[in-house]
Amino acid sequence: MMDRLARQGMILVGCGKMGGAMLSGWLKSGLPPASVWVKDPNPAGWLAEAGIHLNEDLPDAPAVALIAVKPQMMGAALPEVARLGGGGTLIVSVAAGTPIAAFERAFGPGTPVIRAMPNTPAAVGRGITAIIGNEKVTESHLSLAEELLAAVGQVVRLEDEAQMDAVTAVSGSGPAYVFHLIETMAAAGEAEGLSPDLALRLARATVAGAGALAEDATEDPGQLRINVTSPNGTTQAALEVLMDETDGFPALLRRAVGAAARRSKELSRDE
């Protein structure tokens, strides 16, 4: 797949944190810098020395145009690449809240469009991205998108675009939930007498380590929880609070994820 990109070239529209992380991954994977065209009104300093085509005229028929701008910048960004519609170029979007239909309108009929939802751990190569394509997308298109997005982490395929709202609520917004968990664990540690620096260090390392253990383990998270919970011990005492069905984690996270999913639907309707 990278050979095809090297021959035909690819375009990256928007090179902020997410776009920059992906570009860095592609270059490390062996994609020639001369095969990449980047359009960004405020490019990071390292791009000028990367050997890519920065804000230059675009090729006529690149293999892929990846849209990585914020939704509010879409109106200015899409006209620059709209001529690539029609089928010769795969359009991949990582823009939150922008449905496939919006890109079909911008690029015209016959255009293969893949909508992707990565999350912020992509910046350190530990993200997960969900993808779904329109009816013009082939297996070859999906494989190409998977290879590109694998540069920043795992990739999963969805069965229906409607699932994207739930994906947004779980993995797209999910890192913020984890960051808040770290905040609140550290604050609770302070309340029990730890210094702020020590409490934060303990909370960060605990969440990062537990996440790595959960990802690598053969057991499911429920079994891992049981493994570290001694009967009538300290962990059980805490879990009796956290697992309360009325105001513990189960009810709280259902409400939080539900709120995020509803807002994702609203944003898509506003588009």
| Residues 47, 241: Cα–Cα separation, whole Å | 50
The count of other CB atoms within 10 Å of the CB of residue 116 is 24
| Residues 156, 228: Cα–Cα separation, whole Å | 30
- Binding residues for NADPH, by number, are 55
Contact 184, 104 (CB under 8 A): no
- What tokens were used for 122? 């992509």
- What tokens were used for 152? 């920043």
Closest CA to 20 of 57, 84, 66: 66
Backbone region of residue 216 per phi and psi (left: phi > 0; alpha: psi in -120 to 50; beta: other values): alpha
Contact 38, 47 (CB under 8 A): yes
Q: In a 3-state reduction of DSSP, which class is residue 48? A: helix
- What tokens were used for 90? 């795969």
Q: Please calculate the CA angle 47-53-57 and round it to the nearest 5 degrees.
A: 135
DSSP-derived pairing of the beta strands 127-133 and 153-157: parallel
- Binding residues, by number, are 55, 68-71
- Binding residues for NADP(+), by number, are 68-71
Contact 73, 48 (CB under 8 A): no
- What tokens were used for 50? 């990367």
| Residues 39, 13: Cα–Cα separation, whole Å | 5
The answer for residues whose C-beta is within 8 angstroms of residue 200's C-beta and 6 or more apart is 182, 186
